[in-house]
């Protein structure tokens, strides 16, 4: 039965389960919610959108998680992953106790140790590094709120090295590109006013599969309001399926399309002339620059017809300024990503959508004082000037550059704290470098809830408790309305896991830095901060989320004089800053490489059931999507004699071969591309559900296209071919 096979993809039905003999007399289970129900406010940490909600227990047992209706991140509804968050708590494969790398009988192994022993070891290694190399040689590599505590610890110690893969492997180019243009980045949550947009343009952004909660909700609101959605994607994404226009662009040619759109807006006089005259600089140079980039020219590059390019540009202009050309989120694609983000920013400027309803709003957060602790010592060196000197325009740590600067005797960094980020699956093709860094570093501490590839390189592995078992720093995000949210522990920590604040404080005390954590329980600090703005821990335990009045306008007033935080104080269509650093002041197009015969562009993305590898072993979410599949067009499937469900391996242009992965034959992908969901293909056998399931895209990215402006790792220059299982044997 065809449908039955289909269902297995999304949800496992019961029919395949063990069938007991005829029976009778089962007791009726109690109806859910008829017992003793307790509720506790939470801020979700399954992804980094940080939705506020409520955890329910029934008769002391974990029951369910729901969104908080007062919360702007969730709008009262959790996404698939958030609804499955209890799986993170329940996962039997969690890290259970501290582990120390020891050599026994000539072989390295991890030995379970007490917290005391693990923390003593860390403090003593840190002291050694300070004596031998200086106290500025540690770096925090982090993804997640708990990193805050380790940042304070390392800052107090004298090390300000800090990098998050969410910059150079994800959002960095767009924030730099927008900052160069408007003087500010997009931030997170993205400052997009989609609920009021009349036209939304998605450049490879797969909202709906990427399930950042309020992003999806506000976008779908626009769909419901019949806004024009224009989706540019080589794949018929979920978003493309909701769009009036799907532009199945040739991979890597987005810049050509953007330049042609700018060409049409300027040369047909469709741009917001008053807005540009009032706020922007560089129109003349831009107009001249895009003169050759006609829709006819772009057709030859992108495969999108000139008529469609004109029609969509006019559609954008018709709805401006309530037209949002979406900035995207993961945008480290081809190495020209800051420039492509600049082109997107310029397009928004021409449409007058920055600072306008239906475009980009001006976010505001609560003015929340920091807890008083001693000022951190002035670091001995400016690590960024030292380590990231090739990227002076990068405002944040570049994880791949930090890794490079941790290899060898003369490397700058001598110790890492890795918090909540599985680096070998986040930084493309980095496993060998991380291995080399692990050889050079005097200390690598990994703090995580789950075993994963990075824990294998560590000297010490520390089991953190999940977000459901700890008090996290107050969420104070830039949003439509300023608001605070607090995440309270709903459960006692399982096994011998501990919250990040406790771990950081314990290490600090061993280094005579206890003054930076001057409380017994982190709750004291959170309560103090809340008291400063007229709230308290007790109030937040009732509310979960508390809104505060805005003190600034959400949009520019008509004709308002605005000072942009750029060198000129204006929106910079032409960037003197880029020119002065030797980069192109206006975005240029370079044709991408085409795949060799029988090779395909390797495209990757998200699925709504998972936050990349972070959730892959979560029992609830695993059931929904236990492995990924490689999407191939039916023409390709015929060529390779493949059917849906067959196993293949992917081999890239440099001969790197993936884990085996099932084929999904679908019309929803261009014949020159394949697609897999990122995060699968985990190899750690301690992940008993996820191990060896599906393919990992990250290891196939051996051709990394570095962004010369901000150092990001462009990941979309890789090609793969399909190798049927029997050919490998």
Partner 1 sequence: MKVYAMVIDTNLCIGCGDCVVACKTENKLPAGLNRDWVVEATRGRYPDLTTEFRSERCNHCTHATCVHACPTGATYTWQNSNIVLVEPSKCTGCKACIAACPYDARLIMTPDGYIDKCTFCHHRVEKGQDPACVSACPTHCMHFGLLSDAQSTVSRLLATRPHKALLEETGNEPQVYYLT
- The residues binding partner 1 (CB under 8 A) are 1, 3-4, 6-7, 9-15, 17-29, 31-34, 63-66, 77-80, 83-84, 86, 208-209, 211, 213, 216-217, 220, 223-224, 236, 238, 241-242, 246, 248, 608-609, 619-621, 623-625, 633, 666-671
Q: Mark out the alpha helices in 85-195 (DSSP H runs).
A: 86-90, 115-132, 147-157, 165-166, 172-182
Chain-centre distance of CA 238, in angstroms? 19
Q: Minimum Å distance from CB 544 to partner 1?
A: 17
- Smallest distance, Å, CB 40 to partner 1? 15
The least distance separating partner 1 from the CB of residue 639, rounded to whole angstroms, comes to: 15
Name the residue nearer to partner 1 (CB basis): 508 or 677.
Answer: 677
Nearer to partner 1, 299 or 548 (CB): 299
Distance CA 217, CA 195 (A): 8
Closest to partner 1 by CB, 78 or 279:
78
For partner 1, the closer of residues 485 and 636 by Cβ is 636
Q: Considering the complex, what minimum distance in angstroms separates the CB of residue 305 from partner 1?
A: 11
- Give the total residue count for the chain: 729
Cβ-Cβ contacts under 8 Å for 681 (sequence gap 6 or more):
628, 658, 659, 661, 692, 693, 694, 695, 696, 697, 699
In the DSSP assignment, the letter for residue 187 is T
- Minimum separation from the CB atom of position 28 to partner 1 (A): 5
| Least gap, CB of 77 to partner 1 (angstroms) | 5
Interatomic CA distance for residues 675 and 652, integer angstroms? 13
Structure token pair of residue 3: 């449908």
Q: How far is the CB of 90 from partner 1 (least distance, A)?
A: 10
Give least dist CB 24 to partner 1, A: 5
Residue 32 gets the label, from left (phi > 0), alpha (psi -120 to 50) or beta, of: beta
Quick one: 90 exposed, middle or buried, by C-beta within 10 A (0-12, 13-18, 19+)?
middle
Taking a C-beta distance cutoff of 8 angstroms, is the pair 449, 464 a contact? yes
Q: Which is nearer to partner 1, 66 or 135 (CB)?
A: 66
Decide whether 24 or 552 has the Cβ nearer to partner 1.
24
Q: How does DSSP assign 230-260, residue by residue?
A: EEE-SB--HHHHT-SEEE-PPTT-HHHHHHH
141 membership: H or E segment, kind and range: strand 138-142
Whichever of 78 and 413 has its CB closer to partner 1, that residue is: 78
Asked whether the beta carbons of 445 and 120 are under 8 A apart, the reply is: no
436/453 Cα distance (integer angstroms): 15
CB of 241 to partner 1, least distance (A): 4
Question: How far apart are alpha carbons 660 and 642 in whole angstroms?
Answer: 14
Is the Cβ of residue 550 or residue 668 nearer to partner 1 in the bound state?
A: 668
Nearer to partner 1, 173 or 204 (CB): 204
Strands 99-104 and 107-112: antiparallel
Shortest Å distance, C-beta 239 to partner 1? 8
Cβ distance 373 to 153 under 8 Å? no
Pick the closer one to partner 1 by CB: 224 or 382: 224
Q: How does DSSP classify residue 171?
A: I
Q: 454 and 434 in contact (C-beta within 8 Å)?
A: yes
Task: Check if the beta carbon of residue 277 is closer than 8 Å to that of residue 190.
Answer: no
Report the nearest approach of partner 1 to the CB of residue 21 (Å).
8
Q: How far is the CB of 665 from partner 1 (least distance, A)?
A: 11
Least distance in Å: CB of 236 to partner 1? Answer: 5
Nearer to partner 1, 90 or 683 (CB): 90
Question: Cα torsion at 406, 410, 414, 420 (round to 10°)?
Answer: 0
Cα separation, 211 vs 81, in Å, equals 8
In the block, tokens 């990503």 appear at: 337
Nearer to partner 1, 2 or 565 (CB): 2
Q: 19 or 542, CB closer to partner 1?
A: 19
Per-residue buried b or exposed e for 645-656, using 16+ beta carbons within 10 Å of the residue's own CB: ebbbbbbbbeee
């Amino acid at each position: 039965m065809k449908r039955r096979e289909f269902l297995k993809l999304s949800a496992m039905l019961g029919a395949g389960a063990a069938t007991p003999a005829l029976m009778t007399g089962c007791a009726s289970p109690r109806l859910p919610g008829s017992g003793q129900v307790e509720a506790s406010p939470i801020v979700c940490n399954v992804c980094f959108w940080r939705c506020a909600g409520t955890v329910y227990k029934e008769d002391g047992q974990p029951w369910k998680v729901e969104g908080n209706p007062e919360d702007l991140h969730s709008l009262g509804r959790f996404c698939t992953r958030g609804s499955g968050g209890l799986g993170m708590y329940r996962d039997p494969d969690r890290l259970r106790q501290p582990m120390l790398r020891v050599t026994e009988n000539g072989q390295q192994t991890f030995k379970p140790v007490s917290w005391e022993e693990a923390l003593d070891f860390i403090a003593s290694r840190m002291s050694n590094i300070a004596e031998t190399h200086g106290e500025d040689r540690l770096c925090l590599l982090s993804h997640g709120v708990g990193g805050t505590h380790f940042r304070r610890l390392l800052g107090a110690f004298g090390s300000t090295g800090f990098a998050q893969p969410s910059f150079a492997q994800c959002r960095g180019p767009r924030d730099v590109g927008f900052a160069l243009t408007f003087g500010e980045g997009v931030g997170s949550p993205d400052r997009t006013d989609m609920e009021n947009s009349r036209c939304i343009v998605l450049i490879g952004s797969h909202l709906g599969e990427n399930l950042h909660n309020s992003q999806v909700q506000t976008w779908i609101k626009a769909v419901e309001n019949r806004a024009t959605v224009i989706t540019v994607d080589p794949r018929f994404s979920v978003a493309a399926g909701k769009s009036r226009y799907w532009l199945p662009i040739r991979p890597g040619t987005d810049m050509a399309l953007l330049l042609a759109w700018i060409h049409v807006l300027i040369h047909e006089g469709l741009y917001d002339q008053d807005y540009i005259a009032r706020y922007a600089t560089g129109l003349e140079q831009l107009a001249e620059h895009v003169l050759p980039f006609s829709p006819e020219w772009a057709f030859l590059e992108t495969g999108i017809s000139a008529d469609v390019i004109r029609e969509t540009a006019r559609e954008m202009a018709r709805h401006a300024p309530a037209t949002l050309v979406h900035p995207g989120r993961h945008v480290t694609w081809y190495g020209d990503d800051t420039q492509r983000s600049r082109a997107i920013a310029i397009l928004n400027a021409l449409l007058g959508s920055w600072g306008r309803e239906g475009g980009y709003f001006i976010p505001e957060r609560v003015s929340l004082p920091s807890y008083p602790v001693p000022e951190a010592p002035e670091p001995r060196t400016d690590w960024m000037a030292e380590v990231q000197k090739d990227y002076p325009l990068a405002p944040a740590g570049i994880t791949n550059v930090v890794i490079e600067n941790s290899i060898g005797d003369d490397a700058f960094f001598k110790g890492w704290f890795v918090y909540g980020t599985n680096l070998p699956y986040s930084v493309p093709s980095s496993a060998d470098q991380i291995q080399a860094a692990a050889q050079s570093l005097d200390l690598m501490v990994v703090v995580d809830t789950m075993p994963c590839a990075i824990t294998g390189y560590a000297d010490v592995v520390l089991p953190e408790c999940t977000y459901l078992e700890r008090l996290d720093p107050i969420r104070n995000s830039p949003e439509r309305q300023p608001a605070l949210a607090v995440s309270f522990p709903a459960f006692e920590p399982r096994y011998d896991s501990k919250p990040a604040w406790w771990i950081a404080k314990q290490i600090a005390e061993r280094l005579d830095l206890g003054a930076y954590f001057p409380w017994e329980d982190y709750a004291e600090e959170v309560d103090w901060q809340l008291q400063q703005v007229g709230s308290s821990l007790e109030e937040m335990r009732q509310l979960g989320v508390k809104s505060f009045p805005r003190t600034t306008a959400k949009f520019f007033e008509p004709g308002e004089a605005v000072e942009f935080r750029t060198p000129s104080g204006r929106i910079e269509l032409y960037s003197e800053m880029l020119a002065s650093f030797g980069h192109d002041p206006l975005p240029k197009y370079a044709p991408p490489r085409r795949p060799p015969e029988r090779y395909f562009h390797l495209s990757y993305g998200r699925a709504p059931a998972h936050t990349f590898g972070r959730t892959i072993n979560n029992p609830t979410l695993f059931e929904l999507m236990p492995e990924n599949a490689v999407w191939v067009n039916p023409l390709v499937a015929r060529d390779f004699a493949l059917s849906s469900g067959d196993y293949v391996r992917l081999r890239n242009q440099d001969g790197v071969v993936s884990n085996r992965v099932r084929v999904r034959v679908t019309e929803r992908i261009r014949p020159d591309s394949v697609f897999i969901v990122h995060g699968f293909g985990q190899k750690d056998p301690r992940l008993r559900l996820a191990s060896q399931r599906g393919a990992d895209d990250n290891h196939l990215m051996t051709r990394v296209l570095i962004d010369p402006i901000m150092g990001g790792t462009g990941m979309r220059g890789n090609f793969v071919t399909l190798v049927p299982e029997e050919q490998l044997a």
